[in-house]
Amino acid sequence: MTGWRARLGRAVGVALLATTVEVASRCLVPLPFALHLEGVATALVLYALVGAPAVLLDRAGGRLRPIGRLFLGLPLALIVPNVGYAVGAKEALPLAALFGAGLLAATLAARLLTGRAIVAVTLAAVAVTVAARLRVGRAGEPGTAPSVLMVVLDTTAVGHLSTYGYGRPTAPNLDALAARSLLYARAVSAAPWTIPSHAAIFSGHYPSELGFEGFDFEAGTAAGSIAADLAATGRVTAAISANPFVPQNPTLRTGFAESWDVLQLTEPLLLKIVDHLRGHWGYRGPGFRVTELALDWLDRIAPHGRPWFLFVNYMDPHAPYTPPARERQEFAPRVPRGAVADDPRYYNTGVVSLTPEAVADMRALYDGEVHAMDRALGRLLDGLAARGFDASNLLIVVVADHGETLGEHGMTGHLLGMWDTLLHVPLLISGLDVAPGRVEVPVQSVQLRATIRTLLGLPPLPDVAGPLPPWGTAPELVVSQRHEIPWYFDELHEVRQDVDTSPWAGNWVALERDGRKVVFEEEDGKGVVYDHRTDPGEAHPQPLAPGDPLLAAYQDWLVARSPIRSTEPIAGTRERLHALGYVR
């Protein structure tokens, strides 16, 4: 029994050693890191499970004992690829090479891992961690020039924000920020989904100007970005995104010195592999992790006394709608587990019926997700205030990339349709010399690049969408574009082979002027008209006449805003979508 306990104690000691060494290494590398009990416990359990076979094999003795020592070294071997994955090594070959190097080193180290050695190295790793954390708070202090925080509330519908009059208290922290901000009552996204809408926000160009097609942009498009603009002024630029599309897409990374995916920074590689084997494609990090990483970046990585541009993306309201227990109890206490399908495709293909009960449950869960995101945003704003950032030295921009359809028009999600539930987004600007107030005229989030340049005193750019009012003018024609997404049609057909995707095929455009909205497909010109003055919910579409004046206005708009470049488009790749977890 004594030998058995000794072997078990040694295996547990190695797991503890691997955990502390990984935490210490993550505190030393220049990556945002959220040190918390849950993460440490998860790592300890995973390393203990990996090393558990060593106890049985070592006890068996004979030829199995060397294999037992190999398993004993596995927790240490996993540290190298685990940290490598966080740093950015995501392909199988480099990860395998890192694991091989770690396995070799761990096999050699396992022979030297006496009880005293384990204790000594563990204590040293703890000391390194403590020393690294003592440095927290010294880096991200206000600089001589104002810093800029841009927040994208991914997949956030205006109709579910208390800030915009929704009846449930979903966004108390955003409400408080709005009270000291310039709020735009009607901001419209340039696209109804993530990649083209983010690109429009960052670059100041519409998707058609960037040559967007399927999933990517024209090769070599040189549109610039807010991050590049601010990097040129000497500001440090970084992006921390719950949505992996931002750090994965080259166009969206433009100008950022560092661009990180939250799960890349927080999820152990072993769990990622297990999810992969299970066919479970989780691809978003919770909002509180975004905040933890952002504050750690400010405290430990951002250069001392130097202004910065930090972009953060919160993605909590994106499907599946699974709010934390606190929000579930407050906003959806009567919604049973499994009442709402995890994937909007099941509703959009008719495989699962979109009943009134399902819609009500879905909206209740969505409200909880919005509140969880708002709580994370509040922690970030409080953290910035505690670090000395206020209206005198920080410009804050909060916007959504697009909204979400939650049963309206018989649809869910955001990849089909051009309804107001998808295109109307929240937009607030606060800090510096921005006077609190409210702008009622329709504007577009594509105007943010020019607006930020104006507020920071940078010269105007002639080819981007102009600044927002009051620094510029509202657009004469509000334009949103949704280029054909065949990859999503493939996903719908995987759920139901005979589903008819033809109503959504083609390149769709939404135009708005003076309360009238036109939605049409560019190839055949067929579409509908809405009158927002009498039909704000877009429940009564009217047929689009061929000679509608908004169509002619759009043709003039296209001539004035020709594509930046005309080269061969990058092929939209299903593999990249699959790797990101956006499709199954």
pLDDT tens-digit map of 275-320: 665 555 556 789 999 999 999 999 888 988 899 999 999 999 999 9
Residue 514: pLDDT over 70: yes
pLDDT of residue 579: 42
The stretches of 415-532 forming alpha helices (DSSP H) are 420-423, 448-455, 486-495
Q: Which long-range contacts (CB under 8 A, 24 or more apart) does 409-416 make?
A: 409/538, 410/354, 411/347, 411/348, 412/319, 412/344, 412/347, 412/348, 412/354, 412/362, 413/319, 413/344, 413/345, 413/348, 414/155, 414/192, 414/193, 415/192, 415/193, 415/485, 415/488, 416/348, 416/488, 416/504
109 contacts 73 by C-beta, under 8 angstroms:
yes
Residue 493: pLDDT over 80: yes
Strand, helix or coil for residue 516: strand
In the chain, domain spans: 2-134, 147-473
State how far the Cα of 68 lies from the Cα of 54, in Å rounded to an integer.
Answer: 4
Mean pLDDT to the nearest integer, 114-137? 68
pLDDT tens-digit map of 538-568: 999 999 998 899 999 999 998 887 766 433 3
- What spatial distance separates the first Cα and last Cα of the chain, rounded to whole Å? 49
Contact residues for 260 (Cβ-Cβ < 8 A; gap 6+): 31, 32, 238, 239, 240, 241, 247, 293
State how far the Cα of 482 lies from the Cα of 504, in Å rounded to an integer.
Answer: 10
Among 158-167, 274-283, 380-389, 457-466, which stretch is predicted with the lowest mean pLDDT? 274-283
Architecture label for domain 147-473:
3-Layer(aba) Sandwich (3.40)
* Cβ-based burial of 471 (10 A; exposed 0-12, middle 13-18, buried ≥19): middle
Residue 63: pLDDT over 90: no
Contact residues for 57 (Cβ-Cβ < 8 A; gap 6+): 64, 65, 67, 68, 71
Q: Identify the band that residue 389 occupies on the pLDDT scale cut at 50, 70 and 90.
A: very high
pLDDT tens-digit map of 176-217: 999 999 999 999 999 999 999 999 999 999 998 888 776 666
Q: Identify the band that residue 582 occupies on the pLDDT scale cut at 50, 70 and 90.
A: very low
State how far the Cα of 95 lies from the Cα of 269, in Å rounded to an integer.
Answer: 10
Among 1-5, 356-360, 461-465, which stretch is predicted with the lowest mean pLDDT? 1-5
pLDDT of residue 279: 55
Angle at 362 between CA 311 and CA 412, to 5 degrees: 75
Q: Identify the band that residue 71 occupies on the pLDDT scale cut at 50, 70 and 90.
A: low
Q: What is the mean pLDDT of the chain?
A: 83
State how far the Cα of 460 lies from the Cα of 318, in Å rounded to an integer.
Answer: 35
217 contacts 570 by C-beta, under 8 angstroms:
yes
The stretches of 88-161 forming alpha helices (DSSP H) are 92-110, 115-134
Mean pLDDT to the nearest integer, 409-428? 94
The stretches of 241-392 forming alpha helices (DSSP H) are 245-248, 250-253, 262-266, 269-278, 287-296, 325-331, 344-348, 356-386
Residue 89: both structure tokens together: 């090594």
pLDDT of residue 584: 43
484 contacts 214 by C-beta, under 8 angstroms:
yes
Among 98-112, 121-135, 486-500, 535-549, which stretch is predicted with the lowest mean pLDDT? 98-112
State how far the Cα of 474 lies from the Cα of 463, in Å rounded to an integer.
Answer: 16
* 45 or 372, greater pLDDT: 372
* 10 or 330, greater pLDDT: 330
* 535 or 281, greater pLDDT: 535
Among 45-49, 248-252, 344-348, 496-500, which stretch is predicted with the lowest mean pLDDT? 45-49
State how far the Cα of 28 lies from the Cα of 209, in Å rounded to an integer.
Answer: 42
Q: Identify the band that residue 578 occupies on the pLDDT scale cut at 50, 70 and 90.
A: very low
